[in-house]
Structure 1
Amino acid sequence: MSTAQAEAGSEVDVYKAVPTGEIKGGLIVIHEIWGLVDHIKDVADRFAAQGYVAYAPDILSKAGITPQAGKELSELVSHPDEKVRVAAQPRFRELMAPAQDPAYGAWAVGALSAVVDDLAAQPGVDGRIGVVGYCFGGSYSFALAATDDRIKAAVPYYGAPPDQISVANITCPVLAIYGEDDERLISGLPEVTKRLQDAGVDFTSKVYPGAGHAFFNDTSSRYDAEAAADAWTLTLDFFARHLGSAG
């Protein structure tokens, strides 16, 4: 674990996974609403095994959701006992409230750009930088692509562009990945698609039948192994195509 300077007097922790062989580029890996838990570190390690310098920043501890708190909360809201799940809701809303503040959103995007600064300086990255994020991180993948033109490819999983960003500023290709049973995001996908296409963004979406929200998370009860395996291959192919040349 290392740190990146996000702004004057503020640092963000970053989990860094580095390939042992040839470097194909660099990736910013943005966590779910549960924060920088072990699952996201494992995802970063998997990308490093494929040749990418993978940086997974912790941008939720700033809002009070530490990895430990996120892990505990995730276990409560997915508990098999409905009474436990219901009882956890007030705590969930309390913890999530600071992350809804526009001031936090502005800080988070700035923090992510600071992590891009660090990643861009690493040997072998050579300007080949992409972003991938999950849920909360999917939305921030859109936001980072819209505010930092060093991002050359973006893969948001089950996320939507935040209302406050201008998608017209996205200059890189975007592959958005969803589960068909993720009702809220799927119902909004036609509008998101139109918004991006009207802005001239190279946008493609992939929807997996029978899969729900967070289907890629293999520590979750929502995990769909078949959809996750295919999405992983699709993601690697996308980054290989769009981060394939230096400069």
Structure 2
Amino acid sequence: MTRLTQHDFDPEVLKLFDQYVHGQIDRRGFLSEAGRYAVGGVTAAGLLSALSPSFAATMVAPTDPRIQARYVEYPSPQGYGTLRGYLVMPANAKGKLPAVLVVHENRGLNPHIEDVARRVAVENFIAFAPDALFPLGGYPGDEDKGRELFGKLDQVKTRADFVAATDMLRKMPEGSGKVGVVGFCYGGGIANYLPTVVKGLDAAVAFYGSQTPAAEVPKMKTPLLIHDAEKDERILAGWPAYEAALKANKVEYTHYVYPGTQHGFHNDTTPRYDEAAAKLAWTRTMDFFRKHLKA
């Protein structure tokens, strides 16, 4: 079966899908608007299905001999009791290793983000991917249900829980004490946020995430690597003000915009995936972590 790409869809359909996955329109709204672009026997529902993630394939299997993966729980400072995440370590690690917090999109800890955590681990880092939905029962196995649950989270508490996760990683006996973060979409926003509240965070990588408000940028001391998509008007709209604040406060940052790409270009489970851009962004990310976490 031929894999669909962003080029198989009308750009307006891709914009509608982005609005849908970020809660700007509901499912009914998407189907109503997308119906105008359904041609050749393809229905609006068919377009939505084609754009939705498929988790059939992974880049690093859960049973890959290079890693050891398990779910762990850790205390929440917000009265949730415990939080849960996916911890992945290199199987034959020698000495203490730096750790990377992997932050999911706005659906919770789905199979794709678990795969991303495994990819981090095979690069000889400890990887930990928390599930922000665990206080509400965890990722439900359905993207739409996950997105619906996500809207019920108290983001003040959820952000504090991600801070707690960085603290856990810093104190792990297997860890070197150095911690970085990489996040995607919602997680990219968290990657931009954590340097304002976590002292000593060693590196942060944001994939197409919302920017930190300019007023908070003076608190940032963490080197940043930011990956954005050329056709992501929603996210790029906030970049000029963010960049100005980063420059004014002498925050170390590198920003890449990948030509021709859509929001979500790194996610290989959807047609918005751009293989060349994703591989380049990943190589840059791992090089960035090696520089700042292993030096």
Output one character per residue of 1:18-63: Cα deviation in whole Å (capped at 9) or x when no partner. Answer: 112245410000000111000000000110111111010111344x
Structure 1 pair 188–238 and aligned structure 2 pair: CA distance change class (3 A): same
Find the residue that maps to 1:68 and give its secondary structure.
coil
The structure, 1 or 2, with the larger RCO (C-alpha pairs under 8 Å, 6+ apart) is 1
Match of 2:156 in 1: 106
CA contact (8 A) 1:127 1:150 kept: no
Distance 1:173 1:193 in 2: 13
Match of 1:175 in 2: 225
Counterpart selection for 2:126 from 37, 48, 53: 53
Structure 1 pair 24–2 and aligned structure 2 pair: CA distance change class (3 A): closer
Find the residue that maps to 1:128 and give its secondary structure.
strand
Structure 1 pair 192–60 and aligned structure 2 pair: CA distance change class (3 A): farther
Match of 2:267 in 1: 217
The Cα RMSD (Å) is 2.1
CA contact (8 A) 1:17 1:54 kept: yes
Matched ranges for 1:159-238 at <5 A: 159-163=209-213, 166-238=216-288
Match of 1:7 in 2: 77
Structure 1 pair 38–118 and aligned structure 2 pair: CA distance change class (3 A): same
- Number of equivalent positions: 222
Paired-residue identity, %: 34
**Aligned letter for 1:71?**
E
CA contact (8 A) 2:211 2:239 kept: no
Counterpart selection for 1:71 from 143, 155, 160: 143
Q: Structure 1 segments of 4 or more deviating over 4 A?
A: none
Query: Structure 1: where are the runs of 5+ without partners?
Result: 75-91
Matched ranges for 1:31-180 at <5 A: 31-62=104-135, 64=136, 66-68=138-140, 70-73=142-145, 95-99=149-153, 104-163=154-213, 166-180=216-230
Output one character per residue of 1:84-137: Cα deviation in whole Å (capped at 9) or x when no partner. Answer: xxxxxxxx6x645434xxxx2221221112112221122342221100000000
**Aligned letter for 2:165?**
V
Which is greater in Rg?
A: 2
Find the residue that maps to 2:234 and give its secondary structure.
helix
Find the residue that maps to 1:34 and give its secondary structure.
coil
Match of 2:58 in 1: none
Distance 2:142 2:215 in 1: 26
CA contact (8 A) 2:108 2:150 kept: no
Output one character per residue of 1:137-180: Cα deviation in whole Å (capped at 9) or x when no partner. Answer: 00011111210013100001001234497121111100010110
In the TM superposition, what is the alpha-carbon distance from 1:229 to its structure 2 partner?
0.5
Find the residue that maps to 2:168 and give its secondary structure.
helix
Structure 1 pair 114–183 and aligned structure 2 pair: CA distance change class (3 A): same
Match of 2:25 in 1: none
Distance 1:38 1:207 in 2: 26
**Aligned letter for 2:268?**
D
**TM-score (ref. length: structure 2):** 0.70
Structure 1 pair 8–203 and aligned structure 2 pair: CA distance change class (3 A): closer
Structure 1 pair 165–220 and aligned structure 2 pair: CA distance change class (3 A): farther
Structure 1 pair 165–134 and aligned structure 2 pair: CA distance change class (3 A): farther
Query: Structure 2: where are the runs of 5+ without partners?
Result: 1-70
